[in-house]
Structure 1
């Protein structure tokens, strides 16, 4: 007769966490799910359940949605379930010590970066925006810090030239499920050795704000391309044209035909090139003018007056 599987609880909230929750259920006896409270969503502001809650309900699992974590109530509820391990992925809140210490194998987190790089709320987006060649997921034993726990396993994936924050989010969610399927049983059997992070090499990935999508043409086009892709779909990349907002949906780095042109200057119409620093230019491929549909750069040039020498974003700089 085979030994009974170890009992687990899962902490997670958004779509990213769903494949990881499914993997947890595949290799352990998942006995409960903890997720964020339902939130208003959409134009009607009706309450919507987190994706992880929907998964739990479909599986008939108990769901906890505490508004507070530090009052001891959740810890008491989970203690009755006697979990051997907790798996955490994109839960959205820092767990207090009583929850971290509750399972006998502790709390295992799946983080969307190659730690110690990109600790924090937006690791997927910042890895692309920082022009990294690869990213991945790290499975770690949680402590009371922010993504500072000892590492148990890492899976990596290259960042392609067309990858965006959205596309890499989906890839890493799948990879997160893989690392749990492959490595959580090894951890629970004692086959994995925890490795401390090099805290001196840590970088942060702070939560994104709308303003971080504003394009700064004093940067090299290579970096602008990375930021456009990293910050897609949110907050998105934008500049201004004739006093109105111009969203940049897709672009790519190129050499400038006028290396001495001021940053933000239109230096070519076909293709539509905008001067950046270090002799580079950003080729706009798809854009969305304020109040208009998404269109190609060629359609933008054909449909309105964009002459050579015009400066995008000049209203923002007071030029």
Structure 2
């Protein structure tokens, strides 16, 4: 049976899924990806570069509804369409161009965490498990029947970046495992019971602002969820912004300290509303790491100017 495909892909998951498709002998007629945003921290691999290494035609349309994109996919004559961390919903008219199906790789265990940035949300909410799911694409996001999924653990101190690395491997394993059946036309279709799941929207850098009145575990989950390479959890003091890049929950409480960022016994602490604290191992100011002494000097100076 014919195994010609168009891949919509971006980020590390897009890179690995492209490589799996090629390794399984799928003919990639066209790759659709994004132009990198110069204002974004590009810490991940390039789908465009991998496609170029294999001589695969690549386009980067800004609008998924553009007639030019529809024409390019139509003219590629795909049997399948795959999407792997492509950032736009694909119109049903494009999905219909693949007679053997259109499938998306999503970074959660659907039906949980449908929508945007699922790894970050899972860490923020204190989940202990997530994964990757391959599913049919429909008009609604992450709503189609499930073809396969692989779970990974979220350890108590894992950052979203570390979890994303695991999810990338889970995506690769899932596609590698189910692709032979998919190509043979025998892959399963399992229910995607949306009523039992959840949907989350996108996040903005401002969502990383810390509310020290919250319990320490919630603050720590926020720090982990947006730690570098993401923009980072931040607080403002004396008119200065500080980003917490690395931290750990303190083993004991600090009931006599006021909530907020402070130095105690030459250690940087973030004291929270429940009297517990996070011990800050890397604090950044103006893009540079500062130690407890430098932080204390900066705050003292700002209060006297």
TM over 0.5: yes
Q: Any idea what the Cα deviations from partners look like across 1:96-121, whole Å, max 9, x if unmatched? A: 11111111221110011111222222
Contact 1:208–1:235, Cα closer than 8 Å, also in 2:
no
Show the counterpart of 2:245.
Answer: 249
Partner of 1:47: none
1:79 is aligned to: 74
Task: Tell me what 2:13 maps to.
Answer: 16
Q: Which stretch shifts more, 95-104 or 253-262?
A: 253-262
Which residue does the alignment assign to 1:151? Answer: 146
TM-score with structure 2 setting the length: 0.86
What is the alpha-carbon root mean square deviation over aligned residues? 2.7
Which residue of structure 2 lines up, in the alignment, with residue 92 of structure 1?
87
Query: What's 1:227 paired with?
Result: 222
User: What displacement does 1:13 show?
Assistant: 2.3
Residues 91 and 274 (structure 1 numbering): CA distance in 2 closer, same or farther, change over 3 Å? closer
1:237–1:248 CA contact under 8 A, matched in 2:
yes
Contact 1:152/1:193 (8 A) holds in 2? yes
Q: Give the distance between the partners of 1:257 and 1:51, measured in 2 at CA.
A: 44
Contact 2:2-2:79 at 8 Å conserved across structures: no
Partner of 2:292: 300
In 1, Cα distance between the equivalents of 2:217 and 2:33? 39
189 and 60 in structure 1: CA distance in 2 versus 1, 3 angstrom threshold = same
Tell me how far apart the structure 2 counterparts of residues 133 and 253 of structure 1 sit (CA, whole Å): 17
Partner of 2:30: 32
In the alignment, structure 1 residue 120 sits paired with structure 2 residue 115: yes
User: For residues 7 and 67 of structure 1, what CA distance do their matches in structure 2 show?
Assistant: 24
Answer yes or no: is the 8 Å Cα contact 1:8–1:86 preserved in 2. yes
Give the Cα separation in 2 of the matches to 1:80 and 1:257: 64
Distance 2:36 2:298 in 1: 43
CA distance in 2: counterparts of 1:114 and 1:301, whole angstroms: 44
2:127 matched to which residue of 1?
132
Deviation, 1:138, is 0.5
Would the aligned equivalents of 1:221 and 1:280 in 2 still touch at CA under 8 Å? yes
Contact 1:85 1:105 (C-alpha < 8 Å) held by counterparts:
yes
Cα 1:99–1:253 change in 2 (3 A) is: same
Name the structure 1 match of 2:303: none
- Measure the CA separation in 2 of the matches of 1:118 and 1:155: 14
Superposed counterparts of 1:150-229, under 5 Å:
150-229=145-224
1:199: Cα distance to partner?
A: 1.4
2:51 aligned to which of 50, 56, 79: 56
Check whether the contact 1:10–1:86 (CA below 8 A) recurs between aligned residues: yes
Matching residue of 1:41 = 38
**Inter-CA distance 102–240: structure 2 relative to 1 (3 Å threshold):** same
- The equivalent residue for 2:274 is 278
Which ranges in structure 2 are unaligned for 5 or more consecutive residues?
301-305
| Structure 1: 4+ residue segments shifted above 6 A | none
- 2: distance between equivalents of 1:306 and 1:228? 22
2:213 alignment partner, SS class: coil
Alpha-carbon distance between aligned partners in 2 of 1:232 and 1:291, rounded to the nearest angstrom? 16
CA distance in 2, matches of 1:191, 1:141: 14
Count of aligned pairs = 294
Q: How far is the alpha carbon of 1:71 from its aligned partner? A: 4.3
